[in-house]
């Protein structure tokens, strides 16, 4: 029996993959019920290939919006990079899907048998016994399991007991995310757009016929709070030099649909597993959102873990899992961290933009495709 802690993107996908492969599991989540918080998220082709394997593709395509073109531009929407996602679609079966995070999670939850998800069960600690692991929850209850999987996110409690030392790094950037309750003008419908300015950037994509998601990233001290009564005005002023569509998005988004998070990641840790306990997703390797790969890598973890369990019954699965995934994931952690630094440069932005505008699309596509490629 596998016990999974955390019903986020990684834990839910693990449950679905285990369901598909007939691996016994139980999933425990601290929230009382599925929570509808969050904004837009991009699911890259590597994530979509796994979600197809897990059998939830139709459900998520029904509530998401396909992005066939990813563009990087200056603040006025003058193109620097224009990447058609159709070659990726031809190669991997999918381009990118933009979807509301709450809808994604609901679609995943609905595909899991109800008796296998236990809500309102916050992990407290574990105890390694002879052949099993005993898990304590904060409500005083307990469960015993052969294997424990910590999918409990960047602030993982499983991680903090398994490895006492780990460091969450602040990127020096804060991010506002909003969902406007209308679609974009038709010419933008299938585009994922990112605009780079000086020390600030703005991105957007349509999520469904009546939702558009945006994000605004600014260099900032950590832990700052917003005065909600003036936040929209503040963002409007901050982005006054950007293309007018930015003002439209900020002005037409309800203040309750704007969230703020500081951008962080997990400084790579030496190991993700020990004996019969393993971390996956953000608990093992939280990634800054600059490449839209944090969730995708959590989803990939679920796939590879499931495959290793059924293919290598007598070996140390968790050790093999770490061996298979460690290099790829940490190279994405690193690349994403530096992408964020370049995207939010305060000076030298003309040179930066000139360089990006002459990078051959082929080179950019090759890099993207190496991330999209789900190798067996």
Chain residues that interact with ligand FAD, rule: CB under 6 A: 5-11, 28-31, 41-42, 122-123, 151-153, 157, 175, 177, 261, 281-283, 289, 292-296, 298
**Bridge partner list, 192:** 70
* Closest distance of CB 82 from ligand FAD, Å: 20
Rounded to a whole number of angstroms, the CA Rg of the chain reads 21
The answer to whether 79 and 73 are in contact (CB under 8 A) is yes
Helix (H) or strand (E) holding 96: strand 96-100
What distance in Å separates the CA atoms of residue 163 and residue 157, rounded to the nearest whole number?
10
142/261 with CB nearer ligand FAD: 261
Q: Which helix (H) or strand (E) holds 128?
A: strand 123-128
- Provide the angle, in degrees to the nearest 10, between the axes of the packed helices 45-53 and 294-311: 40
Q: Is residue 175 within 8 Å of 276, Cβ to Cβ?
A: no
Give the nearest distance from C-beta 350 to ligand FAD in angstroms: 28
As a whole number of angstroms, the distance between CA 122 and CA 137 comes to: 5
Of residues 260 and 353, the one with the C-beta less far from ligand FAD: 260
> Minimal distance in Å, beta carbon 191 to ligand FAD?
15
> C-beta of 293: minimal distance to ligand FAD in Å?
5
C-beta closer to ligand FAD: residue 9 or 193: 9
In the complex with ligand FAD, the residue whose CB is nearer, 96 or 358, is 96
CB of 164 to ligand FAD, least distance (A): 16
- Find the shortest distance in angstroms from Cβ 34 to ligand FAD: 9
Q: Which is nearer to ligand FAD, 226 or 353 (CB)?
A: 226
> To the nearest whole angstrom, how small is the minimum distance from the Cβ of residue 48 to ligand FAD?
11
73 vs 96, beta carbon nearer ligand FAD = 96
The minimum distance between CB 46 and ligand FAD, in angstroms, equals 9
Q: By C-beta, is 7 or 54 nearer to ligand FAD?
A: 7
Q: Which residue is nearest to ligand FAD (CB)?
A: 8
- Least Å from the CB of residue 313 to ligand FAD: 26
DSSP assignment letter at 113: -
Distance from C-alpha of 291 to C-alpha of 336, rounded to nearest angstrom? 6
The residues facing 197 across adjacent strands are: none
CA 18 to chain centre: 20
Q: Which is nearer to ligand FAD, 161 or 349 (CB)?
A: 161
- The strand order across the sheet containing 273-274 reads 117-118, 25-28, 2-5, 147-150, 277-279, 273-274
Q: Rounded CA gap, 306 and 317, in Å?
A: 10
DSSP 149-212: EE---TT-HHHHHH-S---EEEEEEEEEEEEESSPPPGGGTTEEEEEE-SSEEEEEEEEETTEE
Nearer to ligand FAD, 30 or 89 (CB): 30
Closest CA relative to residue 268, chosen from 246, 239, 288: 288
């Amino acid at each position: 029996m596998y016990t999974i802690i955390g019903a986020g993107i990684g834990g839910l996908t693990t449950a679905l993959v285990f369901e598909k492969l007939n691996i016994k599991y139980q999933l425990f989540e601290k929230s009382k019920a599925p929570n509808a918080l969050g904004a837009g998220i991009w699911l890259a082709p590597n994530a979509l290939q796994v979600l197809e394997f897990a059998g939830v593709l139709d459900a998520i395509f029904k509530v998401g919006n396909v992005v066939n073109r990813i563009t990087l531009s200056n603040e006025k929407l003058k193109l620097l990079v224009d990447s058609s996602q159709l070659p990726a679609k031809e190669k991997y079966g999918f381009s990118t899907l933009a979807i509301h995070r709450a809808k994604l999670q609901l679609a995943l939850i609905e595909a899991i048998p109800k008796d296998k998800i236990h809500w309102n069960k916050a992990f407290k600690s574990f105890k390694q016994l002879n052949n099993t692991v005993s898990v304590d929850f904060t409500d005083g209850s307990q469960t015993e399991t052969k294997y424990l999987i910590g999918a409990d996110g960047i602030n993982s409690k499983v991680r903090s007991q398994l490895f006492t030392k780990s460091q969450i790094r602040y990127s020096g950037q804060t991010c506002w995310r909003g969902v406007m309750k209308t679609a974009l003008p038709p010419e933008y419908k299938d585009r994922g757009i990112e605009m780079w300015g000086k020390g600030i950037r703005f991105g957007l994509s349509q999520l469904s016929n009546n939702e558009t998601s945006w994000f605004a990233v600014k260099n900032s001290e950590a832990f700052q709070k917003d005065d909600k009564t003036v936040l929209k005005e503040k963002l409007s002023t901050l982005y006054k030099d950007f293309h007018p569509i930015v003002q439209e998005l900020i002005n037409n988004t309800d203040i309750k649909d704007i969230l703020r998070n500081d951008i962080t990641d997990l400084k790579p840790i030496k190991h993700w597993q020990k004996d019969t306990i393993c971390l996956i997703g953000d608990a093992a390797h939280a990634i800054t959102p600059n490449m839209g790969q944090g969730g995708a890598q959590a989803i990939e973890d679920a796939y590879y873990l499931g495959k290793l369990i059924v293919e290598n019954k007598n070996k140390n699965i968790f050790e093999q899992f770490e061996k298979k995934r460690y290099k790829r994931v940490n190279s994405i952690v690193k690349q994403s961290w530096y992408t964020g630094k370049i995207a939010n440069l305060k000076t030298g932005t003309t040179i930066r933009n000139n360089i990006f505008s002459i990078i051959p699309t082929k080179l950019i596509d090759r890099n993207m495709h190496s991330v999209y490629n789900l190798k067996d």
